[in-house]
């Protein structure tokens, strides 16, 4: 059993929204699922897995500036703010803090709904006291 967790965080690295997909599914699926519920923001930081023209255009339509590096296989390089992109480590820190909970790190729950509930509980306790 393999799953992938997609998350939207605020500027402080606190999770706002989660979406769980199958592990073999592309990151575009998670991006499309979370796109409708994005809060108003000035910038969106994401990794190379979210580099797609449709996603960039959808963000611009919402008034959000994408800060996403281009994939290596992209024909023309995409410009992005490298200084601002370094702040993406806050998202990685958030995932690391979630994995401090042994139940999440070792994936005790076989049922995806139960696992997702454990993630929501851990996020609530860790980030929203």
CB 97 within 8 A of CB 126: yes
Averaged confidence pLDDT in the chain: 92
Whether the per-residue pLDDT at 28 is higher than 80: the answer is yes
Token pair belonging to 118: 């454990």
Q: Is domain 3-127 given the CATH code 3.30.420.10 in the classification?
A: yes
For 62-103, how does the pLDDT look when each residue is reduced to its tens digit (9 = 90+)? 999 999 999 998 888 899 999 999 999 999 999 999 999 999
SS3 58: helix
What pLDDT does residue 1 have? Answer: 62
What pLDDT does residue 108 have? Answer: 85
User: What pTM, to 2 d.p., does this model score?
Assistant: 0.87
What pLDDT does residue 19 have? Answer: 95
Sorted by where each begins, the domain ranges of the chain are: 3-127
């Amino acid at each position: 059993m393999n799953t992938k967790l997609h998350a939207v965080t605020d500027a402080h690295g606190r999770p706002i929204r989660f979406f769980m997909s199958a592990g073999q599914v592309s990151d575009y699926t998670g991006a499309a699922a979370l796109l409708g519920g994005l809060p108003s923001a000035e910038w969106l930081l994401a990794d190379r897995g979210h580099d797609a023209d449709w996603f960039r255009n959808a963000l611009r339509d919402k008034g959000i500036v994408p800060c996403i590096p281009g994939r290596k296989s992209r024909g023309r390089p995409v410009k992005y703010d490298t200084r601002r992109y370094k702040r993406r480590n806050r998202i990685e820190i958030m995932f690391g803090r979630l994995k401090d909970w042994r139940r999440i790190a070792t994936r005790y729950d076989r049922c995806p709904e139960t696992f997702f509930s454990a993630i929501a509980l851990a996020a609530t306790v860790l980030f929203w006291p």
